[in-house]
């Protein structure tokens, strides 16, 4: 039997930013720079959540409300040794709940077309594919836009 790891989801603090930057670099081909992460945290403090386990930040999610009532997940990252432990699902549940509480009628996100693992993860969370956006990423890769509605 594997012991269940205790994970706490909480608001990000300034002292978490270096750990979040480290996760960004481990997870993404084109990571957000620290200056942008700090700006997002300053502008949307209630939309920047951290997952803490074993006394350290092991994941994060950034979600904001745009265009009136559309929640937008900008990024989610899990430190690789902590993947496949439901941490990403917990972060997504918390940010989706928070976006909904703040007036979002739907939540949108983008995933690399080549990242089938991420797309499957989002489909399990109730998202559906909406469209492809060519040349979305810095390296020219297409994004798959996905969304989850709270109505109907």
Tens digit of each residue's pLDDT (9 = 90 or more) over 106-146: 999 999 999 999 999 999 999 999 999 999 988 899 999 99
pTM: predicted TM-score of the whole model, two decimal places = 0.90
DSSP-based three-state secondary structure for 103: coil
Encode pLDDT of 18-62 as tens digits: 999 999 999 988 899 999 999 999 999 899 999 999 889 999 999
Q: What count of Cα atoms within 13 Å lies in the side-chain half-sphere of residue 108?
A: 15
Residues 44, 47, 51, 56, Cα dihedral to 10°: 10
Encode pLDDT of 64-104 as tens digits: 998 779 999 999 999 999 998 899 999 999 999 999 999 99
Pick the CATH number of 7-107 from 3.40.630.30, 3.40.190.10, 3.30.70.580, 3.20.20.70: 3.40.630.30
């Amino acid at each position: 039997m594997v012991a269940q790891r205790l994970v706490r989801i909480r608001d990000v603090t300034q002292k978490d930013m270096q750990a979040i930057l480290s996760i960004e670099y481990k997870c993404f081909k084109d990571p957000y720079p620290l200056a942008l992460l700090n700006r997002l945290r300053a502008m949307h403090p209630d939309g920047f959540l951290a997952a803490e386990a074993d006394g350290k930040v092991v994941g994060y999610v950034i979600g904001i409300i745009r265009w009136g009532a559309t929640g937008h997940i900008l990024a989610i990252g899990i430190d690789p040794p902590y993947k496949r432990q439901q941490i990403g699902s917990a972060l997504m549940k918390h940010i989706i709940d928070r976006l909904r509480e703040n007036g979002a009628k739907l939540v949108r996100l983008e995933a690399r077309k080549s990242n089938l693992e991420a797309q499957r993860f989002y489909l399990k969370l109730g998202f559906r594919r909406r469209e492809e956006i060519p040349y979305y990423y810095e390296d020219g890769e297409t994004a798959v836009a996905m969304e989850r509605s709270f109505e109907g």
